[in-house]
């Protein structure tokens, strides 16, 4: 995966410091080249160095003022332009500052020189050494552009490395969250006579808020509890909420409550502990193979589908359908239906029917019902889930998955005695 550097600009005070160092360096070079001390003044060498520094700083003051004006007034307009345009525009402002500085040097040079050498006087004229000073400006421009660009490159490298470390840290946290999320889901279905069951959860991102789980009752081989849940949002917060909901359900299920009592009991602590913007749509159901009965409570989840004799029925429940954790007091109710051998149940989240293709069309209920109907000829629950998933993938094509997809498929093969 390629990684681009962030577009950072050199801080103004850092850029001014760079130009100041360049001015000092050029003053030293100019002093060395034009080193002609006055014999009558033993300290003239050091004084001439001071004079050359004054000359250089005076000219660079003009350059710095123009660069500061350029950065404050024009930089926001061209910083998204091509790098060459940026450098050329900055160089134009630097040249204007240099020209103004050289023009003013005609009076400043004599002032600075006479300050250090009261008995000496000089006459400075730009036109007498125009080529020399243009050469100096070219040197200034090349060195300045190189120095500022080099410093900016170092800033970009440091920022890129910081972002890389942050991404690695986040990737590690996401992997941990994904492991926790996957850990609350069963690796295989429980073996219960008369039931063929399979489940799948496909997060849209590294981690998501969907999950499913089974709750086999100890000592009771004729009854199976299960849940399909969809936590609002995506990412780590949704995954952590899913882990919390799973823990609460397991704690309550161990006491043997009915489905409506379970959700009513976990609703209050979930409301108190979770973000007000977070809530969990879930369905909790119990299959009793001795009574051939399916009892469930639906808290904001899509109605489960029953396939019987080629006909699909939505199992709608009476009472509140609010997701758990969205409000403090909810009195959930349960719904029961009698099952027959050959019945098939599909409990799913909205990532299936809301899956989209490149034309922004949704998979929808009609296609889902058609795919579910086709599973009546399939012998195993695992193959039936794979068939529905293949239909969704075929419809979506190359369009990326936008939401978590979770399904639990239950096939009633017979009764137990």
pLDDT reported for residue 39: 62
pLDDT band at 393 (very low <50, low <70, confident <90, very high): very high
* Distance from C-alpha of 271 to C-alpha of 324, rounded to nearest angstrom: 7
* Distance from C-alpha of 140 to C-alpha of 102, rounded to nearest angstrom: 14
For the residues 372-397, what does the mean pLDDT come to? 93
Q: Could you tell me if 301 and 283 are in contact, meaning their C-beta atoms sit under 8 angstroms apart?
A: yes
- Whole-number average pLDDT of the chain: 79
* Distance from C-alpha of 229 to C-alpha of 211, rounded to nearest angstrom: 5
At residue 43, does pLDDT exceed 80?
Answer: no
- Per-residue pLDDT tens digits for 277-306: 778 899 999 998 888 899 999 999 999 999
Q: Residue 254 to residues 187, 213, 216, 283: CA-CA distances in angstroms?
A: 20, 14, 10, 17
- Per-residue pLDDT tens digits for 129-173: 556 666 666 666 666 666 666 556 666 666 677 777 777 777 766
Report the Cα 4 to chain-centroid distance in Å: 16
pLDDT reported for residue 410: 94
For the residues 23-41, what does the mean pLDDT come to? 71
Q: Which residue has the higher pLDDT, 276 or 373?
A: 373
pLDDT reported for residue 181: 65
* Distance from C-alpha of 276 to C-alpha of 229, rounded to nearest angstrom: 18
DSSP for residue 194: T
pLDDT band at 247 (very low <50, low <70, confident <90, very high): confident
Give the residue from 262, 412, 256, 245 showing the smallest Cα distance to 342: 412
| Its pTM surpasses 0.75 | no
* Distance from C-alpha of 94 to C-alpha of 141, rounded to nearest angstrom: 8
Cβ of 372: how many Cβ atoms within 10 Å?
Answer: 23
Lowest mean pLDDT: which of 31-35, 36-40, 413-417? 413-417
* Distance from C-alpha of 104 to C-alpha of 290, rounded to nearest angstrom: 103
Show the CA angle centred on residue 71, arms to residues 68 and 72, nearest 5°.
85
* Distance from C-alpha of 322 to C-alpha of 334, rounded to nearest angstrom: 13
Lowest mean pLDDT: which of 77-81, 318-322, 336-340, 344-348? 77-81
Highest mean pLDDT among 102-116, 272-286, 348-362: 348-362
Residues 6+ apart with CB under 8 A from 182: none
Please give the CATH number for the structural domain made up of 184-412. Answer: 3.60.40.10
pLDDT reported for residue 2: 36
Q: Which residue has the higher pLDDT, 358 or 167?
A: 358
Q: Which residue has the higher pLDDT, 40 or 300?
A: 300
At residue 200, does pLDDT exceed 60?
Answer: yes
DSSP for residue 128: G
Instruction: Map tokens 């009854």 to a residue.
Output: 223
Q: Strand 305-308 to strand 344-348: parallel, antiparallel, or no bridges (unpaired)?
A: antiparallel
Q: Which residue has the higher pLDDT, 118 or 37?
A: 118
Q: Where in the chain is the domain with CATH 3.60.40.10?
A: 184-412
Element housing 21 (H / E)? helix 12-33
* Distance from C-alpha of 405 to C-alpha of 354, rounded to nearest angstrom: 10
Q: Could you tell me if 414 and 341 are in contact, meaning their C-beta atoms sit under 8 angstroms apart?
A: yes
pLDDT band at 64 (very low <50, low <70, confident <90, very high): confident
Give the residue from 230, 417, 234, 250 showing the smallest Cα distance to 325: 230
pLDDT reported for residue 68: 77
pLDDT reported for residue 6: 44
């Amino acid at each position: 995966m390629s990684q681009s550097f962030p577009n950072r600009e050199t801080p103004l005070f850092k850029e001014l410091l760079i130009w100041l160092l360049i001015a000092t360096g050029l003053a030293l070079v100019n002093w060395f080249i034009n080193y002609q001390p006055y014999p009558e003044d033993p300290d003239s060498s050091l004084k001439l160095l001071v004079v050359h520094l004054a000359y250089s700083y005076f000219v660079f003051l003009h350059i710095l003022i123009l660069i500061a004006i350029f950065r404050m007034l024009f930089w926001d307009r061209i910083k998204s332009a091509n790098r060459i345009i940026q450098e050329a525009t900055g160089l134009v402002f630097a040249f204007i500052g240099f020209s103004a500085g050289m023009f003013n040097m005609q009076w400043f040079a004599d002032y600075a020189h006479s300050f250090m050498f009261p008995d000496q006087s000089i006459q400075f004229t730009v036109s007498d050494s125009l080529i020399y000073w243009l050469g100096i400006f070219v040197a200034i421009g090349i060195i300045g552009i190189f120095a500022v660009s080099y410093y900016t490159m170092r800033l970009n490298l440091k920022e890129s490395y910081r972002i890389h470390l942050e991404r690695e840290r986040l990737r590690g946290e996401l992997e941990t969250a994904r492991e926790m999320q996957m850990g609350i889901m069963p690796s295989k279905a429980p073996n219960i006579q008369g039931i063929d069951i399979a489940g799948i959860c496909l997060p849209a991102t590294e981690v998501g808020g969907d999950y499913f789980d089974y709750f086999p009752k100890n000592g009771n081989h004729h009854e199976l509890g299960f849940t399909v849940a969809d936590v609002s949002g995506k990412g780590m917060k949704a995954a952590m909420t899913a882990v919390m909901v799973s823990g609460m359900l397991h704690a309550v299920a161990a006491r043997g409550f009915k489905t409506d009592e379970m959700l009513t009991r976990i609703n209050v602590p979930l409301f108190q502990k979770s973000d007000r913007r977070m809530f969990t749509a879930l369905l909790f159901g119990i299959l009793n193979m001795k009574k051939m009965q399916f009892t469930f409570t639906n808290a904001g989840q899509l109605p489960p589908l029953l396939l019987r004799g080629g006909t699909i029925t939505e199992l709608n429940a009476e009472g509140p359908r609010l997701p758990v954790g969205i409000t403090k007091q909810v009195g959930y109710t349960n719904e029961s239906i009698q099952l027959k051998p050959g019945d098939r149940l599909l409990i799913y989240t909205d990532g299936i029917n809301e899956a989209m293709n490149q034309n922004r069309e949704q998979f929808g209920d009609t296609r889902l019902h058609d795919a579910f109907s086709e599973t009546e000829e399939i012998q195993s629950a695992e193959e039936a889930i794979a068939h529905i998933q293949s239909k969704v993938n075929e419809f979506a094509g190359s369009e990326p998955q936008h939401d978590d997809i979770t399904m639990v498929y239950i096939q009633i093969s017979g009764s137990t005695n």
